[in-house]
């Protein structure tokens, strides 16, 4: 059957009822709910509906009910019905409540579906009540304890930064599967101190606050400034102290670039594989020669070296 306006409720509800305990010689009683006047209640005494109003059976205001005559305990019975005040509301129909009917922040965590996301129990034990977040699983909001997501328990937060529980852990970049060649598992930056790698025990100057390095993966970029002391030593010139040992390989391939030096044209340097040293070389276009300490006596060198570990 069709209706104009709202569809009638399909179930009826009860109005709230208050039963009074009769007190001899008492005409004033307390209502369980505040009312505007006596017309808001129906008073029944000994199963007879009483007439409300001044000069009638009773009056009411606020929570005070006043009888025109006192009743007798054990003989008389009295109750009232609050007109228009229902003990319950009719349940809304399925799908009838929308977002416009809900107040902001009305839905609390206690009302959300806290089913565990599918497969979570296979990754750990029963989840705790803390450190959780919500996900949408096929339209259903579900609660997930982050420590039960595979691998996430290996990371923590430190001052807003991710911190692995093991220094060997890293991030795979540029791929969607674990490939060793795409794993970034090391980063470091700091200072280093060049030392004499020739065995002559020479002391360098101008190294303080001039020598820095950055290591990303297996690549190291180190800057330097070194001033040789006055020396007549004939050992081949080597600068040591690089922050990491160079990769061992069949030949030396990692070169040094000079930004400035006062030794002369044709000067170059190369990292000695498997060590923390680089050595000086000179070339005349047809041959390459090692440089002795005596040749770089008092000379100043500035540059950078990029090599693999």
Q: What is the pLDDT along the chain (309 residues), one digit of tens a residue?
A: 566 666 665 566 778 999 999 999 999 999 999 999 999 999 999 999 999 999 999 999 999 999 999 999 999 999 999 998 766 656 777 787 888 888 887 777 666 555 544 444 433 444 445 566 666 666 666 666 655 555 566 888 888 888 888 888 888 898 888 899 898 999 999 999 999 999 999 999 999 999 999 999 999 999 999 999 999 999 999 999 999 999 999 888 888 998 888 887 788 899 999 999 999 998 877 788 999 999 999 999 999 999 999
Structure token pair of residue 194: 């060049």
Map tokens 């996900």 to a residue.
Answer: 135
Buried residues in 136-168 as b, exposed as e (16+ CB within 10 A)? eeeeeebbbbeebeeeeeeeeeeeeeeeeeeee
CA geometry: angle 167, 144, 118, nearest 5 deg = 105
Long-range own/partner contacts, residues 284-291 (CB < 8 A, 24 or more apart): 290/236, 290/237, 291/236, 291/237, 291/267
Distance CA 86, CA 17 (A): 9
Query: 80, 41 in Cβ contact below 8 A?
Result: yes
pLDDT at residue number 77: 97
Q: What is the pLDDT of residue 144?
A: 65
pTM (2 decimals)?
A: 0.54
pLDDT tens figures, 254-286: 889 988 888 877 888 999 999 999 999 988 777
What is the structure's pLDDT at 210? 94
What is the four-CA torsion angle of 76, 82, 83, 84, rounded to 10 degrees? Answer: -160
Q: Given the DSSP bridges, would you call strands 238-240 and 219-227 parallel, antiparallel or unpaired?
A: unpaired
Rounded to whole angstroms, the Cα distance separating 138 from 28 reads 60
């Amino acid at each position: 059957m069709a209706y104009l306006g709202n569809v009638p409720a399909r179930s009826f509800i009860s109005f709230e009822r208050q039963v009074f305990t009769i007190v001899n010689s008492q005409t004033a009683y307390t209502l369980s709910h505040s009312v505007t006047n006596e017309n808001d209640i129906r008073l029944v005494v000994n199963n007879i509906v009483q007439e409300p109003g001044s000069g009638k059976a009773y009056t009411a205001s606020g929570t005070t009910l006043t009888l025109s005559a006192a009743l007798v305990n054990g003989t008389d019975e009295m109750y009232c019905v609050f007109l228009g005040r229902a003990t319950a509301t009719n349940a809304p129909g399925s799908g009838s409540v929308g977002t416009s009917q809900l107040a902001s922040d009305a839905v609390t965590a206690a009302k959300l579906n806290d089913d565990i996301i599918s497969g979570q129990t296979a990754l750990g034990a029963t989840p705790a009540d803390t450190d959780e977040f919500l996900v949408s699983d096929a339209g259903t909001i579900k609660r997930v304890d982050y420590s039960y997501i595979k691998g996430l328990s290996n990371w923590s937060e430190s001052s807003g930064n991710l911190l692995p529980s093991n220094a060997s852990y890293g991030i795979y970049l540029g791929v969607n599967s674990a490939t060793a060649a795409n794993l970034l598992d090391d980063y470091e930056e700091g200072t280093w101190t060049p030392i004499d790698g020739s065995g002559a025990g020479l002391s360098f100057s101008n190294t303080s606050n001039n020598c820095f390095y950055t290591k990303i993966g297996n690549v190291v970029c180190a800057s330097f400034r070194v001033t040789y002391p006055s020396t007549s030593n004939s050992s081949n010139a080597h600068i040591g102290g690089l922050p990491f040992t160079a990769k061992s390989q069949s030949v030396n391939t990692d070169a040094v670039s000079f930004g400035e030096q006062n030794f002369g044209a044709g000067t170059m340097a190369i990292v000695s594989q498997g060590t923390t040293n680089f050595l000086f070389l000179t070339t005349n276009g047809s041959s390459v020669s090692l440089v002795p300490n005596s040749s770089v006596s008092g000379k100043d060198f500035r540059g950078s070296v990029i090599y693999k570990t």
